[in-house]
Structure 1
Amino acid sequence: MATNVFALVIGIDKYKSGNIWNLESCVDDAKNIKRWLTHDLDVPRDHICLLFDSAATKANIEDRFMNHLVNNPAIEPGDAILIYFAGHGSTVRAPPGWFSGRHTKVEVLCPYDHDTKDEKGRVAGISDRSLHSMLRDLCTTKGDNVTLILDTCFSLPLSDVGERSHVRYTPTIKASPDDLLSGLWKSAVAHGKEPLATRGFTGASLDTHVVLAACASGWVATESKGGGNLTHALLTLKDTAAMHKLAYSDMPSELHGLMDDHQQPVCTGRNVERILFDGVPFSEDAHYVSARSSDPEKLRIDAGAIHGVMEGTEFTVHHHNRRGSLNPPLATYSAVEVHPTWSLARSKSHSSTVSREGWARVTHWNNRIPFRVHVCKSLFSFLRRCRLCMSIASAPANASQKGAISMVRVKKAAQADISVKLRRRELVVERHDGLVASNCRRIIHLPSMQSRTDFKIVEEAAHFHLHLHRKNPQRPLLGLVSMELYRLDSVTWARTSGNLLVNGRAQIVDDDKASIYSVVLNNYSDHDLWPYLAYMDASGYGITMVYHPDSAQSSVPLRKHSTMVIGSGTVDSEALSFTLVEGANTGTGFLKLFVSTSFTPMTFIEQGPSSPSVPPAYNTSRKQAATKQDEFWDSVVACINVIRKPG
């Protein structure tokens, strides 16, 4: 399943030719598009290629198009690809025989060196015929989930001459039809006639891509200091509408209401009925869980004691659970009744109405014992230290008033769960908690250069601590559920070791042979159980579910008086691997097994990249099972130490 977004983002204000007037907001537009991708849609920075001003030559654009997109092995068919251009458009006289009829102008995008000479001749821009061929090549290798956004135009306004400097069009003075031919993309047809219906960047309704343009051929696209008209409207729309519900065909009407009256955006392509980017960046966020009305005053929320919920845990309720799409909170609820896998919550507002259904997300865990933090004195980053101290309560009574998890600042390291010291480019964390300190490196160095990252690391440490130590105080399955760990042959998947877990600990040698492992779960109880296995990486504070059962499977995975193998080689049971990062000689993590007598989505507790949660339609099918009086949960934890093989 395609899950990634890649982008080539181009913004050009300053042009090489003295005959082309410079623009003022194209680079800012491109930077704002990049910010939308990284901040809202969680696109990794290395998935985005940026070309500004002098870097955006015709040769460089074509080179990055090939290397970053067409030949990029990281892009899988179906991944979303965005090509964004903000700059001048222009026209060049058509070579003989290019068009049927009397049409004599070819639309071109103007790179930085448009209408200037290079070693191959004069640059005549990137024509519509060239770009369509480029996109056909891209579609052949990476699929048709390609979006082309053009904040430019290809003509001047008929009046308002004084406003022409704000129009993203420039005349081409020197480039000839021969220059257009010599600069044609290698797979484009040089002399074939093209009908009027396919002329221009927006004239063709192709199946290779969808184009969203600032205007149709013959109209103008303008800019101001606030940005291009199209880009400004698009970035306004993403802050005012749920983008995961909008199809490409909806975009022109939605954007037109946010643009000046003179400009009408257009969207063409055979796939215009698709959701924007085919929905790839708007994946489900596992940190939201289903919520529905229980009675006139309460919501039933599919998160309970197994997830760390307790009375007083606070949730915000939202319309949907999609990433990167506007999703403001509808109301805040507080848990008043907590069960093993679900809870009942009451609205904190005075309104008598409740949402009938939606998605809930924890905003405050309300952990009874605050996570204790000692902030060391340091000669470096005095202001950063002050900001970090101010963000953590100094009195236990105020610990629940700041952040998503209760934390309190203490004066001495001996009183703390962690001590932190700020350095110029990192946060040094010393762990004092007995379970972590006795099994893992006491001191770790995590990159951080700003106050927001400092606090995020401390909050992640508190969240890690909460779930590592969390257990059912009644221990209903004590001694009745256990884990075993075995090394496997990477070819045959046969066991090559005995049980590596001894008294809850295993020591593994990283021998650079890509060793794989399986976990065997033993259920000696009289209850059928749903298992969930998390790996908690103590070299940082990541929490990842390495095994999560499918909600749709008909049978309970871990039957009473039976065993189950995680890492058996089947599709839903991949093997585990434990490897050290380059340069490290040791590493430690914890395998934490949660079990429950009824299914519940456990990706809720992940920290870092997470998997989609269970859709709300599922929950009704197990409502009766979830309300049985004998429903319960328990957990088992094991420590995994990894060392590098000597020599």
Structure 2
Amino acid sequence: MTMELENSTHLDASAAPRIFALVVAIDKYKSKDYTNLTGCKNDGERFIHFLKGVLGVPSSQIVFLADEQATQKEILDQFDRFLINNADINRDDAIVFFFAGHGSRINTPTGWATESNKIEILCTHDIWTAGDEGREVWGIFDYTIDEYLRRLAFEKGDNIVVMFDCCHSGGLARGEETTNLRVRSIPPPPYPPPADLERKVLSSIPKPSARAAHTVIQEAGSIHGVVVGTEFSVGSSTQTLVLKAKEVGAFETMLEKGDITNAEATVSHWHHPTLKVHSSIRHSSSHVAVVPADEPAEVAVRQHDLGKWELERFDLLIREYADRVVHVDAEAERMKDILEAIANFNSYLYRAGGAAASFAGKVKIRLNRIEDIGGEYGPHGDDLLNVPVSSRSGVDVKEAIITDLAPRYGFTLENHSDIDLFPYVFYFDPSDYGIQAWYTPPSSTMLAPLKRREAVDQPSSFALGYGAFGTDPIEFYLPHGRKTDSGFLKVFLTTSHVDYDQRRPAPISEISSSRGGPKYSLKGTWTCETFVLTCENP
């Protein structure tokens, strides 16, 4: 292809575009295991010609590494110095990373978690040769590219273009394989558990047949907090009725029968345990109940002055691992909302189930530092969750004590069961009753991210905070002035996708079967595990 520069619009040098580019092009490889290429260096040069000649990017805003210059160390050093830590780059400036050369796909190192036990690598000039410290160079892992791009986006914004001109087959001629090496994409931010416990459900349900038996199914189950007796208010422009849950499954619920054509449903009463409160505030709902002082309660609310409140927490985990007493500035009406939020928080934190699930106890969860050592970005050091179970709070939990707050961390879930699973990971912050979704599977049509084990001694793995699943590394910190701080990690494992966002519509359906036919069976199961994450100054 010939570049037509004559008719291009040239920019005034005094108004140079805010574009910065790191261009890597490799024709020559040091290892005899890799055939040299033709055209990569030329592609890199022509791309730079485009940046300079067409877009007017000055040479000072471009770094070009070709052949012998394009070692693993130099590429990563330039990524760090020229892009991530370049004071001349302002936030939201355009940043380009261009790579032309061999790409490859290899088995993962032991203990690493990927979808297929494979990782993809960019083949640097010195791949499979001894590096400066005598250590074999493995190229640049997709894990590492993912992490460097995340750091770059954090420092400079996400106006980033990445261009890979390579294939997976590092030992074959360039271009013989059409699949391109790609950086793992970042999924849309997952929806957190709801701030309230109301659920709107839009439905379009066929008119019942006079000759068939009908079962009404709601797509919400025990994992959402539904119990036998939970009431669904079903209404339309011409009718309103209340249907109760008569049989509750893991992810769906069988309701009482009723003619609910073209109806809309709202949970009107969850019928699960209510947050019991000692308080002078007159407040009662399906989630909160003020009880006499001589009865047990999870929270006591005391007013010290106008708009000044004290909360004393008695629930098992918070009284053991968090501040028992906190102070809140709020109007009385706002305190009612806070009590509703506490009810929601406790409902999810203490939700239990699935002890009889065949995979219960067969998923091991590890917490490790995530480090880049010689271009290998992954888990290192001790597993901070390799500790005995503690029952001191009255709830069986493992507590990770994190004293080194400088590194970033990641979790690895190992599936030793014979069932494909969907993991859901939430962090509960008792300081403000916030719930953060650290991972929820982004699509209802996706395959289970945590695959069944490959063999008895070969568990499959899922990475959170590193690797191929597009999640950010986890950074722990202590609030200002504190020497210790704890929060709770809750991991739900399910046999099918679950929609935790109760703000979105979810269907009610009506199942018809002939009289005497098989009864509709509620499907699926789930289990969960709770951990304490404690940060401490050593």
Residue 592 of structure 1: how far off its partner (Å): 0.6
- The corresponding residue for 2:251 is 341
2 CA distance for matches of 1:542 and 1:336? 32
- The corresponding residue for 1:641 is 534
- The corresponding residue for 2:271 is 366
- The corresponding residue for 2:141 is none
The 1:332–1:555 alpha-carbon spacing in structure 2 relative to 1, beyond 3 Å, is: same
- The corresponding residue for 1:307 is 224
Q: What are the Cα deviations for residues 262-297 of structure 1, in whole angstroms up to 9, with x where unaligned?
A: xxxxxxxxxxxxxxxxxxxxx999664655448847
1:516 pairs, out of 396, 408, 414, with 408
Q: What are the Cα deviations for residues 108-146 of structure 1, in whole angstroms up to 9, with x where unaligned?
A: xxxxxxxxxxxxxxxxxxxxxxxxxxxxxxxxxxxxxxx
Preserved contact between residue 481 and residue 523 of structure 1 (Cα < 8 Å): yes
Preserved contact between residue 308 and residue 328 of structure 2 (Cα < 8 Å): yes
- Residue 387 of structure 2 is aligned to residue 505 of structure 1: no
The 1:616–1:338 alpha-carbon spacing in structure 2 relative to 1, beyond 3 Å, is: closer
2:402 alignment partner AA: I
Greater RCO, CA 8 A, separation 6+: 2
Q: What are the Cα deviations for residues 567-591 of structure 1, in whole angstroms up to 9, with x where unaligned?
A: 2244632323333344444322111
- Residue 461 of structure 2 is aligned to residue 544 of structure 1: no
2 CA distance for matches of 1:564 and 1:619? 36
**1:348-497 maps to which residues of 2 (within 5 A)?**
353-356=259-262, 358=264, 360-367=265-272, 369-375=273-279, 385=280, 388=281, 390-391=282-283, 402-412=284-294, 415-424=296-305, 425-448=307-330, 450-472=331-353, 474-476=355-357, 477-489=359-371, 493-497=377-381
The 1:346–1:530 alpha-carbon spacing in structure 2 relative to 1, beyond 3 Å, is: same
Residue 420 of structure 1: how far off its partner (Å): 2.0
Residue 361 of structure 1: how far off its partner (Å): 4.4
Structure 2: unaligned runs, 5 residues or longer: 1-90, 93-190, 209-213, 390-397, 454-459, 512-519
Preserved contact between residue 510 and residue 580 of structure 1 (Cα < 8 Å): no
1:580 pairs, out of 478, 485, 508, with 478
Q: Secondary structure in 1 aligned to 2:379?
A: coil
Residue 332 of structure 1: how far off its partner (Å): 4.8
Q: Secondary structure in 2 aligned to 1:423?
A: strand
Preserved contact between residue 202 and residue 508 of structure 2 (Cα < 8 Å): no
RMSD between superposed Cα atoms in Å: 3.8
Q: Secondary structure in 1 aligned to 2:348?
A: helix
2:400 alignment partner AA: A
- The corresponding residue for 1:596 is 494
> Percent of pairs identical after alignment?
27
1:445 alignment partner AA: H
The 1:473–1:529 alpha-carbon spacing in structure 2 relative to 1, beyond 3 Å, is: closer
1:593 alignment partner AA: V
Residue 357 of structure 1: how far off its partner (Å): 5.9
2 CA distance for matches of 1:336 and 1:600? 21
2 CA distance for matches of 1:636 and 1:485? 14
The 1:374–1:525 alpha-carbon spacing in structure 2 relative to 1, beyond 3 Å, is: same
Q: Secondary structure in 1 aligned to 2:378?
A: coil
Q: Secondary structure in 1 aligned to 2:403?
A: strand
The 1:301–1:617 alpha-carbon spacing in structure 2 relative to 1, beyond 3 Å, is: closer
**1:47-446 maps to which residues of 2 (within 5 A)?**
288=199, 290=201, 292=203, 293=205, 296=208, 299-316=216-233, 332-346=242-256, 353-356=259-262, 358=264, 360-367=265-272, 369-375=273-279, 385=280, 388=281, 390-391=282-283, 402-412=284-294, 415-424=296-305, 425-446=307-328
The 1:546–1:618 alpha-carbon spacing in structure 2 relative to 1, beyond 3 Å, is: farther
Residue 533 of structure 1: how far off its partner (Å): 0.8
1:430 alignment partner AA: E
Preserved contact between residue 446 and residue 540 of structure 1 (Cα < 8 Å): no
Q: Secondary structure in 1 aligned to 2:478?
A: coil
Q: What are the Cα deviations for residues 504-542 of structure 1, in whole angstroms up to 9, with x where unaligned?
A: 11122374x4x4221111222221111111111111211
Q: Which has the higher helix share?
A: 1
Q: Secondary structure in 2 aligned to 1:458?
A: helix
Q: What are the Cα deviations for residues 358-403 of structure 1, in whole angstroms up to 9, with x where unaligned?
A: 5x54343211x4332223xxxxxxxxx3xx1x21xxxxxxxxxx31
Residue 408 of structure 1: how far off its partner (Å): 4.4
Preserved contact between residue 366 and residue 406 of structure 1 (Cα < 8 Å): no
Q: Secondary structure in 2 aligned to 1:545?
A: strand
Q: Secondary structure in 2 aligned to 1:495?
A: strand
Residue 458 of structure 1: how far off its partner (Å): 1.9
The 1:554–1:300 alpha-carbon spacing in structure 2 relative to 1, beyond 3 Å, is: same
1:575 alignment partner AA: P
2 CA distance for matches of 1:619 and 1:576? 43
The 1:508–1:628 alpha-carbon spacing in structure 2 relative to 1, beyond 3 Å, is: farther
Residue 463 of structure 1: how far off its partner (Å): 2.1
2 CA distance for matches of 1:599 and 1:454? 35
Residue 308 of structure 1: how far off its partner (Å): 1.0
1 CA distance for matches of 2:338 and 2:246? 30
The 1:500–1:338 alpha-carbon spacing in structure 2 relative to 1, beyond 3 Å, is: same
Q: Secondary structure in 2 aligned to 1:403?
A: coil
Residue 640 of structure 1: how far off its partner (Å): 0.9
Q: What are the Cα deviations for residues 440-469 of structure 1, in whole angstroms up to 9, with x where unaligned?
A: 221222332x22111222222222222211
2 CA distance for matches of 1:468 and 1:299? 29
Q: Secondary structure in 1 aligned to 2:247?
A: strand
2:253 alignment partner AA: S
Q: Secondary structure in 2 aligned to 1:410?
A: coil
**So what's the TM-score if we normalise by structure 1?**
0.43
The 1:434–1:308 alpha-carbon spacing in structure 2 relative to 1, beyond 3 Å, is: same
The 1:341–1:285 alpha-carbon spacing in structure 2 relative to 1, beyond 3 Å, is: closer
2 CA distance for matches of 1:494 and 1:591? 21
Preserved contact between residue 365 and residue 406 of structure 1 (Cα < 8 Å): no
The 1:285–1:291 alpha-carbon spacing in structure 2 relative to 1, beyond 3 Å, is: farther
Q: Secondary structure in 2 aligned to 1:467?
A: helix
Residue 430 of structure 1: how far off its partner (Å): 1.6
2:528 alignment partner AA: S
2 CA distance for matches of 1:339 and 1:406? 25
The 1:594–1:465 alpha-carbon spacing in structure 2 relative to 1, beyond 3 Å, is: same
1 CA distance for matches of 2:193 and 2:489? 23
**So what's the TM-score if we normalise by structure 2?**
0.51
1 CA distance for matches of 2:308 and 2:430? 17
1:642 alignment partner AA: C
